[in-house]
A and B are shown apart, each in its own frame.
Chain A
Amino acid sequence: MFRFAITRLLQAVPVILVVISITFLLVHAAPGGPFSADKAVPPEVLKALEAQYNLDQPLWQQYMGYLGDVVRGDFGPSFKYPGRSVNELIASGLPATAELAFYAMLVALIIGASAGVFAAMRPNTMQDYLPMSAAMIGICMPSFLLGPLLVLIFGIHLEWVPVSGWGDAPGDKILPAITLGTGYAAYIARLSRGGMLEILSQDYIRTARAKGLSESLIITKHALRGGLIPVIAFLGPAFAGLVGGSFVVETIFQIPGLGRFYVQAAFNRDYTMILGTTIFFATLIIVFNLISDMIAIWLNPKLRQQGQGDN
Chain B
Amino acid sequence: MDASIEKIDEAGSSLWQDAWVKLRKNRLAICGLVVLLLLGLVSLLTPWIAPYGYEEQNLILGASPPSAEHWLGTDIFGRDMLTRIMYGGRVSLTVGLIATAVALMIGVLWGATSGFVGGRVDAVMMRLVDILYALPFMIFIVLLMVVFGRNIFLLFFAIGAVEWLTMARIVRGQVMTLRKQEFVEAAYSLGLSQWTIIRRHIIPNTLGPVIVYTTLTIPSVMLLEAFLSFLGLGIQPPQSSWGLLISYGVETMEEFPWLLIFPGLTLSITLFALNFLGDGLRDALDPRTSKD
Contacts and interface: CB of A to CB of B under 8 A. Distances in A.
Given A145-B267, A252-B250, A267-B146, A136 B136 contact: no
B138 interface: yes
Contacts of A23: 140, 143
A187 to B, nearest CB: 11
A281 B272 contact: no
B170 interface: no
Contacts of B135: 15, 19, 240, 282, 285
B142 A266 contact: yes
A236 B264 CA distance: 29
B250 A148 contact: yes
Interface in B120-150: 131, 133-140, 142-144, 146-148
B137 A244 contact: yes
A237 B134 CA distance: 6
A285 B246 contact: no
B254 A145 contact: no
B271 interface: yes
A243 B138 contact: yes
B151 interface: no
A106 interface: no
A26 to B, nearest CB: 5
The interface size bin for chain A is: 35 or more
Contact of A240 (B134, B147, B246, B268): B134
A269 B148 CA distance: 12
A30 B254 contact: no
Interface in A31-83: none
Contacts of B146: 30, 266-267, 269
B258 to A, nearest CB: 12
A152 B134 contact: no
Interface in B219-234: 219, 223, 226-227, 230-233
Nearest to B132: A15
Contacts of A140: 219, 268, 271-272, 275
A263 B231 contact: yes
B136 A243 contact: yes
Contact of A145 (B140, B148, B264): B264
Nearest to A144: B230
B229 to A, nearest CB: 10
B260 interface: yes
A244 B139 contact: yes
B253 interface: yes
Interface in B249-263: 249-250, 253-254, 257, 260
A27 B146 CA distance: 9
Interface in B90-111: none
A29 B267 contact: no
Contacts of B137: 240, 244
Interface string B60-85: 00000000000000000000000000
Contact of A286 (B134, B144, B148): B134
B215 interface: no
Contacts of B138: 240-241, 243-244, 247
A187 B268 CA distance: 16
B136 A244 contact: yes
Contact of A266 (B131, B143, B230, B271): B143
Contacts of B43: none
A289 B134 contact: yes
A142 interface: yes
Q: Which of the listed residues B147, B231, B272, B275 has the most CB atoms from chain A within 10 Å of its own CB?
A: B147
A134 B148 CA distance: 39
A26 B268 contact: no
A140 B267 CA distance: 8
B240 to A, nearest CB: 15
B147 A142 contact: no
Q: Which of the listed residues A19, A148, A243 has the most CB atoms from chain B within 10 Å of its own CB?
A: A148
Interface in A241-280: 241, 243-244, 247-248, 251-252, 262-263, 266-267, 269, 274, 277-278
B247 interface: yes
Interface string B14-51: 00000000000000000000000000000000000000
29 contacts: A15-B135, A26-B143, A27-B143, A30-B146, A140-B271, A141-B264, A142-B226, A142-B230, A144-B230, A145-B264, A148-B249, A151-B253, A236-B133, A237-B133, A237-B134, A240-B134, A240-B136, A240-B138, A243-B139, A244-B137, A244-B138, A244-B139, A247-B231, A248-B230, A252-B250, A262-B139, A277-B139, A282-B136, A289-B134
Interface of A: 15, 19, 22-23, 26-27, 29-30, 136-137, 139-142, 144-145, 148-149, 151-152, 156, 236-237, 240-241, 243-244, 247-248, 251-252, 262-263, 266-267, 269, 274, 277-278, 281-282, 285-286, 289
